[in-house]
Structure 1
Amino acid sequence: MSNLVVKFESLQQLYRAYMPFIKPIGMFVATADSFTLGQEVRVSYQLPAMNQIYDFSGKVVWINPVGASGGRPAGVGVKILTEADFHKHHIEKLLSSELASADLTSTM
């Protein structure tokens, strides 16, 4: 199982990575590494202005290749499979003021 690590430096960076259209929740992780759809991964992440590191197991459900249209970064969208409600709660709590935004994300 591959391991991915991401440290979100800002709410905007977290907003761009959040994938609410993936049920129960998804997260985009920028990476130039190669993955396949359905591949199982382990993700560790740190939220903005927090010291704690969270982690989960997930499955690759989205791939942005290098050179993706719209200047989107290369990486993978991961469907969170472990403790999804826990991660969704913490992420949406931080993003509560951003969720209605029309700003572009890393995937759509």
Structure 2
Amino acid sequence: MSADSRDPLVTRPISDAAPRTLGGSGMPRPGVVSLAIKDQAGLYAAYMPFLKNGGIFVPSNRPYRLGEEVFLVLSLFDRPNKYQVAGRVAWITPVGLANKTPGIGVQLGDDDQGRALRRTVEELLGKTLASQRPTQTL
């Protein structure tokens, strides 16, 4: 059993499997990434306030490219609603990097959904935003 599987504060992806084309057209389709964050510590570890519009780190072993469009489905704590926002890959932590969880940083879009999610995240984090504790990215 790995250390991650025993640590209740480690945020884990629900799923990041999605077809990469629309129907049979061969046209690129944004990858869908889903994440459930259970508590404030997990949200602090995943939030990327240094990105323009903010961002969320999503653990994944799947390869992505910087700038790739993705669609993020995010559950926060025990809230019944899921946040669904478009974004772009702005950070990649590759598989095999010592002491780091592999995954991507999804930069939130500069639209109503992206701004609403950023406001919600920052309200939930409150003063924790000013903490100097390490996160999954820095």
Q: Same fold (TM over 0.5)?
A: yes
Percentage of identical aligned residues: 33
> Larger relative CO (CA 8 A, sep 6+): 1 or 2?
1
Counterpart of 2:40 in structure 1 is 11
Instruction: Tell me the secondary structure at the aligned position of residue 46 of structure 1.
Output: strand
How far, CA to CA, are the matches of 2:137 and 2:50 in structure 1? 11
Larger strand proportion, structure 1 or 2?
1
Unaligned runs of 5+ in 1: none
Task: Report the AA paired with residue 43 of structure 1.
Answer: L
Aligned residues: 107
* Cα offset, 1:58, TM superposition: 0.5
RMSD: 1.0
How far, CA to CA, are the matches of 1:97 and 1:48 in structure 2? 18
How far, CA to CA, are the matches of 1:59 and 1:19 in structure 2? 13
TM-score (norm 2): 0.74
2:137 is equivalent to residue 103 of structure 1:
no
Larger radius of gyration: 2
Q: How do residues 14-29 of structure 1 correspond to structure 2 at under 5 angstroms?
A: 14-29=43-58
Which of 52, 56, 75 is the matching residue for 2:103? 75
* Cα offset, 1:33, TM superposition: 0.9
2:86 is equivalent to residue 57 of structure 1:
yes
Which of 112, 115, 118 is the matching residue for 1:85? 115
TM-score (norm 1): 0.93
